[in-house]
């Protein structure tokens, strides 16, 4: 998770540096408005963070955070996680996207490092009941109808039985109060260094359209470790909340199967094929290639389907009907 932290006083900035020093759960950018620093326009800054799907941590008054993010709040399934922490480090409060965006989890991590009290207000958490949006996130499922979340949560809080349909079949999905669709597709990708984000995004969208897939169907973006910090790929994955996994050349070469090899690519990267091998490495031995290697203007792509399976561990109280 990419995190953008903003504070408004010297004390707040010191707390930010203390909290996020040696942070291991993602990249962190810290800025401070004290003394004329930080972004010139707070709303422009917030808009940029929301567009990139970064988590926002405000160290200061809740009112500042609320007024800053208000114009950009749109959808609980796509909003950036937003948290607020007082400059004394006593409390950390998830304000937005507690489950899907991970604000509640991030609050817990910050609290664990600082001793602050995490102020969690989501009903399913405070009542220690099943949270369907968190269930969907942990099991790599896309929520097709967000209005179903409230309906399911209301029934759960009343301790009533609920029916949730998980399927890739649209007819089956139409019967559920809440409709969950598995993320089954892994995009393997390679590109020339410095390839523009716009070119990469258009290239990926083109082949998703050919396959009649949506970005919400994508489980992961995969490539070689040489591309771990490739700006265009990192941006595309981050802005779509899609994990970006990379592998060494040795790991890719060890993937069994027949792949369209390139001697030029092998000399440059150590692997004779990046996109197909990366996608298959991420999918595992049961992966099914649905789009073999395609190349265009210094970019390559392949798509592999990984059969979805429900994680049955720690699912107490859930009855699974595979009809």
Helix axes 103-114, 10-20, angle to 10 degrees: 100
Looking at residue 316, its pLDDT comes to 55
Indicate the length of the chain as a whole number.
323
The two tokens of residue 254 are: 């060890």
In tens, the pLDDT along 6-60 reads 999 999 999 999 999 889 888 899 999 988 888 999 999 999 999 999 999 999 9
pLDDT value, residue 22: 87
Task: Render pLDDT for 113-153 as a digit per residue (tens, 0 to 9).
Answer: 999 999 999 888 888 888 888 888 889 999 888 888 888 88
**3 state SS of 224:** strand
CA-CA distance, 86 to 19, in Å (whole number)?
Answer: 12
Residue 173 has a pLDDT of 72
Q: What does the pLDDT look like over 191-241, one tens digit per residue?
A: 999 999 999 999 999 999 999 999 999 999 999 999 999 999 999 999 999
Q: For the segment 247-261, what is each residue's pLDDT rounded down to a tens digit?
A: 999 999 999 999 998
What's the fold here for domain 3-121? Rossmann fold (3.40.50)
Task: For residues 291-314, give the mean pLDDT.
Answer: 89
Please state the separation of Cα 17 from the chain's center in Å: 25
Q: Domain locations in the chain?
A: 3-121, 126-182, 185-305
pTM: 0.80
Q: 130 CB contacts (<8 Å, ≥6 apart)?
A: 124, 156, 317, 318
**Spatial separation of the C-alpha atoms in residues 320 and 322, rounded to whole Å:** 6
**Strand 299-305 to 288-296 pairing:** antiparallel
* 185-305: CATH, from 3.40.50.2000, 3.40.50.1980, 3.40.50.300, 3.30.420.180: 3.30.420.180
First to last CA, the chain: 37
Nearest to 19 by CA among 105, 122, 124, 89: 89
């Amino acid at each position: 998770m990419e995190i953008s932290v903003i504070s408004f006083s010297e004390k707040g900035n010191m707390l930010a540096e203390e909290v996020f020093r040696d942070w291991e759960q993602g990249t962190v950018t810290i800025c401070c408005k004290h003394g004329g620093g930080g972004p010139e326009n707070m709303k422009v800054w917030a808009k940029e963070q929301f567009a990139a799907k970064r988590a926002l941590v405000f160290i200061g008054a809740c009112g500042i955070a609320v007024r800053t993010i208000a114009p950009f709040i749109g959808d609980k399934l796509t909003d950036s996680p937003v948290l607020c922490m007082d400059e004394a480090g006593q409390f950390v409060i998830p304000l937005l996207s507690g489950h899907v965006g991970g604000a509640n989890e991030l609050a817990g991590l910050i609290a664990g490092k600082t001793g602050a009290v995490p102020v969690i207000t989501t009903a399913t958490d405070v009542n220690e009941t099943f949270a369907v949006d968190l269930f969907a996130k942990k099991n790599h499922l896309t929520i097709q109808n967000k209005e179903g979340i409230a309906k399911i949560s209301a029934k759960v809080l009343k301790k009533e039985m609920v029916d949730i349909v998980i399927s890739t079949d649209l007819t089956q999905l139409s019967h559920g109060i809440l409709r969950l669709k598995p993320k089954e597709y892994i995009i393997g990708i390679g590109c020339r260094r410095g390839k523009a984000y716009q070119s990469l995004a258009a290239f990926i969208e083109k082949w998703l359209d050919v396959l009649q897939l949506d970005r919400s169907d994508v489980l992961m973006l995969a490539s070689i470790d040489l591309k771990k910090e490739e700006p265009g790929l990192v941006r595309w994955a981050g802005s779509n909340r899609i994990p970006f996994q990379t592998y060494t050349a040795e790991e890719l070469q060890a993937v069994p199967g027949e792949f369209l090899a390139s001697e030029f690519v092998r000399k440059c990267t150590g692997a004779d094929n990046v996109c197909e091998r990366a996608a298959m490495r991420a999918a595992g031995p049961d992966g099914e290639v649905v789009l073999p290697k395609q190349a265009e203007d210094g970019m390559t792509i392949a798509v592999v389907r990984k059969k979805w399976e429900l994680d049955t561990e720690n699912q107490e109280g859930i009855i699974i009907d595979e009809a």
